[in-house]
Amino acid sequence: MHSNWKVHISFVWIPAHVGIWGNENVDKLAKAALNRASCSGKFICWSDLKPKINAYIHSVWQKSWDAEGANTLHEVLPNFGENLHRRGKTVGRKREKAICRLRVGHTWLIQGYLLKNEEQPFC
């Protein structure tokens, strides 16, 4: 593919995975690539592509997170994957978890009555 590398790469189409969704399109593209005389000469390094893939995946997760509707955790952390480290505060994972539990209201003091099968205390 690249003359400076002194490497010759051949693409070979192998008919397999028949009936699996998406593979028919990939097989058609592979057959079409066999008929091309040469490559376009454009190379994409993995290090250039990885941030774009990660950003896309994060946007898909964020859409899913937003679609879940209103809940207390969503109010505390509206952006998927956000944590206290990214807010400029350096705390350990244990403290971060404790802070989030306090903000959401998932603590023994607040919900301990549920585990003990008691009446809800009046605050």
> Which pLDDT band holds residue 107 (cuts at 50, 70, 90)?
confident
What is the mean pLDDT of the segment spanning 85-93? 64
Beta-carbon contacts of 9 under 8 Å, excluding residues fewer than 6 positions away, are 1
Q: How does the average pLDDT of the chain come out, rounded?
A: 74
Residue 113 sits at φ, ψ, to 5 deg, of -60, -30
Global model pTM greater than 0.75: no
What distance in Å separates the CA atoms of residue 49 and residue 95, rounded to the nearest whole number? 34
> Which pLDDT band holds residue 78 (cuts at 50, 70, 90)?
confident
Domain locations along the chain:
3-34, 46-116
4 against 97, higher pLDDT = 97
pLDDT of residue 1: 46
pLDDT at 111 over 80: no
